Structure 1
Amino acid sequence: MTRSLLSKTPTRKHFLATLALLAAGLAAPAFAQGDYPNKPVKLVVPFAPGGNTDLIARMLAQGLAEQLGQPVIVENLAGANGSIGASRVAGAPNDGYTLLFGTAGTQAINQSLYRNLGEKNLADYEYVALVTSIPNVLVVNEGRTPVRTVAEFVAAERKRGAGLSYGSPGTGSTVHLSGELFKTATKLDLLHVPYKGSAPALTDLMGGQIDFIFENVTPALPFVQSGKLRALAVTSAERLPALPNVPTMKESGYPDFVTATWNGVLAPKGTAPSILKRLQDATLKVAGSADFKTRVTALGGEVRLMEAAAFRDFTRNEYQHWGAIIKNAGVTVQ
């Protein structure tokens, strides 16, 4: 009987082996997090391929892959001014492997624009870093509207009266809302004509079907540089290197007219601080490089770097800014 009981009693060797197994199990999650990333990272672009957000995301992803030592795959999930892709990221696992390349639309406009938007709270995400700002440019077809300044444009349209139309790549875009801000500032009678993207809107502007667009600089720049469209003003706070002879709206007599879309990296709420720090450092290093700045400038954009805390505060201010424009314009989407 004694021998039988002793044979079932754990020995010191068995006890130490059990402790080692337990320790290994407890250490596994910490090791996995500390080893981040150990598989490909997905960067969701909530718009179709080919736009400025998509182009800049792919430039950033290339650099992030080098910094993180893992592939960074860009996935386009378009729809509802970016809300579909943003919602997908908000509901993704908070392990750092699904990120959002957010914009003014997804983080500061849609919350006021859409009545039934799920992500109403700016705290639905962790903020990693802001990287770029893409202002708009007021462009006209000189054959249809032979003016060279904003003042001439407004004066000509006052004489013309009703019927002035402007295009946009879609309701709720910064392009559309810049037009609404212009309408409020000038008291002109303007008709908004939404398109499915910038390309058809610019095509109709060149064809004389609409009068003007406050287009993002990136898609409008080639047409301005080729002389097919005339740029009257940019909506940035300062003149752009890509259009050094084009004044700002502030210089043109509208001191509060500063609008732009922007791009930043976000993660699902609850992502570990250590992962967020790794992503922030890598993002800022890539976006701060001379090569990245050169490529963004060529697109008509500006590199604008902000760490997580500043990016979060900036987004809150942008939410108030665009919310006021939307309220004044009376724009809502079901």
Structure 2
Amino acid sequence: MLRRHILLASAVSLCYGVKAEEPFPQRPLKMVVPFAAGGGTDIVARLVAVEMSGALGQPVVVDNRAGAGGSMGADIVAKSRADGYTMLMATVSTHAINPALHAKLPYDPIHSFAPVSLIARVGGVVVVQASSAWQSLGQLAQAMRKDPGKLTFGSQGVGGFSHLMGEMFNSQAGVQSTHVPYKGAAPALQDLLSGSIDIVYDTVPALLPHIQSGKLRALAVTTPQRLSSLPTTPTSAEAGFPDFLAETWNALLAPANTPSSVISRLNDAAARATRTSVVRKRMEDLSAEPVGSNSAELGQFMASEIKRWTPVVRTSGARVE
């Protein structure tokens, strides 16, 4: 009799004393974009947020938190509650470049976050004036070897993606060229078009209109495969520089220690979003490649990107104290 009472009491406690896990999500979610509205990362985030809202049955609201090269927004998510309701649209800057560029970051790029899904990749491209003598990346490298430091490349500023692309090429090709930093992409591009500088390295979307108009010549794209937006432009590997790979990317992250069941739910919604015709068409227009990886694949990808960019940043001498 006593044993029956104990078993009955245990059953009652299981039914009423322990709260069943609630289905996720139960309220709106927030996707932090660590840059200002209107940029490439913001556009991708808003595209994905709309589609994820439908998959999750709750609104996904984009929250722009710009500052410190993306580090401010990343830190907000790193310190948020690990319940899946706050996510970060991370980039190559926040998680591969800034850790080497900044003397101290308020977050760890790996241990402060839980990977959800790699959303998109955007290739880089090397351009010169359409009237220049260089017809290939190999010819450009030969010119750099002939007169070390004579040729110049412009960038959006010290430590940015376009600057570090140039430094990566110097390192991979074993050449020397001189960096000319500008306050933004527009003045660098203007000086390239006028002939004041020789080269610009940047993302395909930033330079594609000028390539298509015939004002600039694309020597190579820095992606593993050729791009549909520049089908006749060889990859850096085809041009003879297989290790010269430089892409920007967008990845969805949650705070570290977010439950695996929640990560799985978010991953499923993100992967579905990248497969929709609306997202794929818009990303194609942006010269971006939709991915929709799983969590483990993203973790491995981020580790490889940190390994790729850390020596480039250190060799460049760029540093933010």
TM-score range, shorter chain: 0.7 to 0.9
CA contact (8 A) 2:172 2:243 kept: no
Alignment correspondent of 1:49: 37
Deviations 1:10-53 (A, max 9, x none): xxxxxxxxx99x938x527x33xx2x323322111112223222
Structure 1: runs of 5 or more not aligned: 1-18
Alignment correspondent of 1:100: 88
Alignment correspondent of 2:229: 242
1:219 aligns with 2:206: yes
Structure 2 counterparts to residues 1-334 of structure 1, below 5 A: 23=16, 26-27=18-19, 30-31=21-22, 34=23, 36-143=24-131, 145-159=132-146, 162-334=149-321
Greater gyration radius = 1
Structure 2: runs of 5 or more not aligned: 1-11
CA contact (8 A) 1:204 1:210 kept: yes
Alignment correspondent of 2:9: none
Q: How many residues align?
A: 310
SS of the equivalent of 1:306 reads: coil
Deviations 1:240-269 (A, max 9, x none): 011001111111111211111111100111
Deviation at 1:123, TM superposition (A): 1.2
Deviation at 1:319, TM superposition (A): 1.0
The percent identity for this pair of structures is: 40
Question: Cα RMSD between the aligned structures?
Answer: 2.4
Deviation at 1:160, TM superposition (A): 5.4
CA contact (8 A) 1:52 1:219 kept: no
Q: Distance in 2 between matches of 1:281 and 1:234?
A: 31
CA contact (8 A) 1:42 1:98 kept: yes
Deviation at 1:311, TM superposition (A): 0.7
Q: Distance in 2 between matches of 1:204 and 1:63?
A: 40
SS of the equivalent of 1:252 reads: coil
Deviation at 1:299, TM superposition (A): 1.3
TM-score (norm 2): 0.88
Q: 1:325 to 1:160 in 2, by over 3 A?
A: closer
